[in-house]
């Protein structure tokens, strides 16, 4: 069981990272990455993925403190899931026509 708890976050987060990187590579090759008109909106767009990772780490830390699961497991899994949610936020915010700010 200890081996599964050690390898599971690596496999799950690795799959998430490969998906996000391949998807961003595809968008880059197509030439339709998100670009915003104002500098503030572009800065927000560029920081959505790292902010998702930070929020995921924080949620994983809180979850790991209250449940009997390894803290390393919850923080790493939280960062991976936050990375995925940050990417989804990036996708939604970068669509054309959504020029907030």
Both tokens assigned to 82:
């936050």
pLDDT at 20: 92
pLDDT at 62: 92
> Does some domain include residue 30?
no
Measured in Å, how far apart are the chain's first and last C-alpha atoms?
Answer: 49
For residue 89, is it within any domain? yes
d(CA 60, CA 72): 9
Answer yes or no: is 55 within a domain: yes
The whole-model pTM stands at: 0.82
Q: Total structural domains in the chain?
A: 1
Q: Identify whether 21 is part of a domain.
A: no
Q: What is the pLDDT of residue 59?
A: 93
Could you count the other beta carbons within 10 Å of the beta carbon of residue 37? Answer: 9
Q: Is residue 6 part of a domain?
A: no
Please check whether residue 31 lies inside any domain of the structure.
no
Give pLDDT tens digits along the chain (101 positions): 778 878 888 899 999 999 999 998 998 888 877 777 788 888 888 888 899 999 999 999 999 899 888 888 888 999 999 999 999 988 888 876 555 55
Dihedral sign computed on CA atoms, order 79, 84, 87, 92? negative
Domain limits for position 80:
37-95
pLDDT at 86: 92
Q: Distances from the Cα of 51 to the Cαs of 46, 64, 85, in angstroms?
A: 10, 20, 10
């Amino acid at each position: 069981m200890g081996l599964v708890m050690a390898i599971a976050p690596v496999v799950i987060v690795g799959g998430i990272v490969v998906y996000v990187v391949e998807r961003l590579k595809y968008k880059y090759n197509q030439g339709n990455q998100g670009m915003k008109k104002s500098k503030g909106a572009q800065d927000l767009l560029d920081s959505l993925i790292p902010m998702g990772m930070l929020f995921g780490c924080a949620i994983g830390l809180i979850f790991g403190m209250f449940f009997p699961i390894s803290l390393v497991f919850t923080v790493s899994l939280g960062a991976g899931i936050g990375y995925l949610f940050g990417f989804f936020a990036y996708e939604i915010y970068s669509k054309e026509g959504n020029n907030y700010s």
